[in-house]
Structure 1
Amino acid sequence: MFISLSETFQRKRDEMFESAKNTPLTSKITVNHSQQLDHFINHFQSKRHSEIYIAEMLDNQTLTVKLKGQLDINTSSNLTNYIDQNKHQWLNVEKLYIDILDLHFFDTSGIKSIVSFMEEMKTKSISISLITTKRAFEILDLMGVTEVFDDCNDKTFHTI
């Protein structure tokens, strides 16, 4: 199950409108909903142009793909294109590490590109691990993504 930021925004907006129908606009619950919406709006207004940096290290049969920057709807195609252009070089890979320690923003489109990559590599019997921070892991877990990872890796999460 993936959670979309736009779906979450819409749900929060609907909750605010519903509470505003039944309570005064200055009620604690309506103000709380409004503040949550403000958070989304401020986040999207302050977001600059997305950039993703992809580095790989191939050491014998171990491939590490390191992602840095933002992995979102704008940059997920960059990752997909990178994988498509380079996967012919990874024929002898037995172990894949996907390092997202320096990924400071991701959305469901970005995570979908990682999951697709992992699923493709798993069909080749490649052992897959995700290197992540505890916070990013918790976000992925809230999104329901860790269940997908568990189905297509060696169940090893390297959390820092």
Structure 2
Amino acid sequence: MSSLRNGSLPWKPELAARAHDLTEAFAAFTTDQVTKAVEEELRHRVSLFAGGIQQYRQAPRNPDRPVNVIHTMGTTRLLDFGDTLPASAPPMLIVPSLVNRYGVLDLDSGDSLIRTLTTQGFHPYVVDWDTPGPEEKSFDLTAYVTARLEPLLAIVHERAGHQPIGLVG
């Protein structure tokens, strides 16, 4: 607080007027009063943040969406979300990050990359990494590419009649 009060805190030139007003407003309070107010606001915001996380964790997932598992390797699954589309639909292999399950791409009917691609005529195939099992525990990034993605690409390529495959992820 002393750096704010004594003017030693550097401000961007475009904020100088607002900084001056803020400095004058702080002059009416003791350091203890400001510290207490900041701590109360921090507790309030952390409480709101924790509440938001709790709501997210308890939110219902999308169980109504059937999942067509077409291949499994270890804990990795290849999912087909376009099995009702014509065989000529351009295939897309969607690869979420290793830390996310595929569900982040299919949150609900109004917020779904997978459903959007399907309605636009693409045939989405999705990689579901799941939690690493005994085999994957020793994997590095190269192993995920060579032991999982390359074989899954070959499966999609075969199923799609050797069409070019769009890759998302």
TM-score by length of structure 2 reads 0.27
Structure with the greater relative contact order (CA < 8 A, sep ≥ 6): 1 or 2? 2
Provide TM-score, normalisation by structure 1: 0.28
Whose radius of gyration is greater, 1 or 2?
2
Query: Which protein is richer in strand relative to its size?
Result: 1
